[in-house]
Amino acid sequence: MATLKQLRTSVASITNIQSVTNAMQLVAAARMRRAQELILAARPYAQQLDRVLQRLSGSIDSLAHPLLTDRSVNKTAYIVLTSDRGLCGGFNANSCRVAFNDLQPDDGVIAVGRKGRSFFRARNVDLLSDYEDVFRELSFGSAAAIADDAKNQFLLGEVDRVMLVYNEFLSVAQQQPVVEQLLPIVPQESEDVGGGQYLFEPSPEVLLDTLIPRHVNFQVWRALLESNAGEQAARMRAMDNATKNAGEVIEELTREMNKERQSSITLELMDIIGGAEAVA
């Protein structure tokens, strides 16, 4: 049975923890709103870029650019996006498990985030490269560096396919692990892109040399934005649950503390009454 002093100390400690988790929840909520704004701002450019590539893909041969060329797959590189910090529930474990289940013995991982690097290193997975502190100051330059790394390994023949694994932000309560093929690029067919002929200036080949690297960079950038928003939403939800749990523990300890104080007061009164009766 804990003493009254121990109970008071526990209540004070958990109250301090509750204040910290509540503050972390508010910070995560603010960062999530900022991440949502970045996603909304990036969508028009991504949609227009996809439309142009769809029209180009219908006018040229798929062998016109090395990043479009499909080949037999002997080794796949998985770009796995995770956070650098914890306290976000199962956010990191979900994407890591999805990638790990798809890995073949010869495949490798490009780990973005400390949590993913630790996960795959503990399981002796081949780490082709790793990046950390990307989400501290999230920028398009970081996405371009990761994409350039993947493109170089693909063009040099070190890997035959590049997959992108991240948590897609669906809502505050839901983040879904997604596995997408980044390289070689698979042109997506669209209903509004018919079989008509288009005139391009400059030539489609020159346009591809410019647009395809940008497309790959932007795909990584979009995944980073989705993962960043998902991380903040998961952390906000985890901290909200922690704050509520701390409140429940404080209430329980307060009841125990009141019982212990009442018991001690009762014992003191019994001693006083017994002493008074003895004197009488």
Coil vs helix vs strand at 128: strand
- What percent of the chain stands above pLDDT 70? 91
- pLDDT band per the 50, 70, 90 thresholds, residue 193: very low
DSSP H helical ranges for 124-203 = 140-155
Residue 38, pLDDT above cutoff 60? yes
Q: How many whole angstroms separate alpha carbon 213 and alpha carbon 222?
A: 14
pLDDT of residue 189: 57
Higher pLDDT pick, 273 / 220: 220
| Residues belonging to the active site | 88
Helix (H) or strand (E) holding 111: strand 108-112
What is the per-residue pLDDT across 136-163, written as a single tens digit (0 to 9) for each? Answer: 888 999 999 999 999 999 999 999 999 9
Q: pLDDT band for position 126 (50/70/90)?
A: very high
Does 274 or 14 have the greater pLDDT score? 14
Measured in whole angstroms, the distance separating CA 1 from the mean position of its chain's CA atoms is 43
Element (H, E) at 9: helix 4-57
Quote the CA–CA distance of 253 and 153 in Å, as a whole number. Answer: 58
Question: What's the pLDDT tens digit per position in 14-29?
Answer: 999 999 999 999 999 9
From 55-69, 83-97, 119-133, 238-252, the region with the lowest mean pLDDT: 55-69
> Mean pLDDT, to the nearest integer, of 153-179?
91
The predicted-structure confidence for 197-253, as pLDDT tens digits, reads as follows: 566 677 767 777 888 888 899 999 999 999 999 999 999 999 999 999 999 999 999
Least confident interval from 57-61, 69-73, 240-244, 275-279: 57-61
Nearest partner of 68 among 190, 173, 216, judged by Cα: 216
Mean residue pLDDT of the chain comes to 86
CB-count burial class (<10 Å; 0-12, 13-18, 19+) for 27: middle
**Cβ-Cβ contacts under 8 Å for 189 (sequence gap 6 or more):** 54
What was the pLDDT predicted at 60? 63
pLDDT higher than threshold 90 for residue 179: yes
Topology annotation, domain 21-188+195-238: Pyruvate Kinase; Chain: A, domain 1 (3.40.1380)
pLDDT band at 191 (very low <50, low <70, confident <90, very high): low
Give the residue, 55 or 240, on which the prediction is more confident: 240
Per-residue pLDDT at 106 exceeds 80? yes
Band the pLDDT of 101: cuts 50, 70, 90: very high
What's the predicted TM-score (pTM) here?
0.83
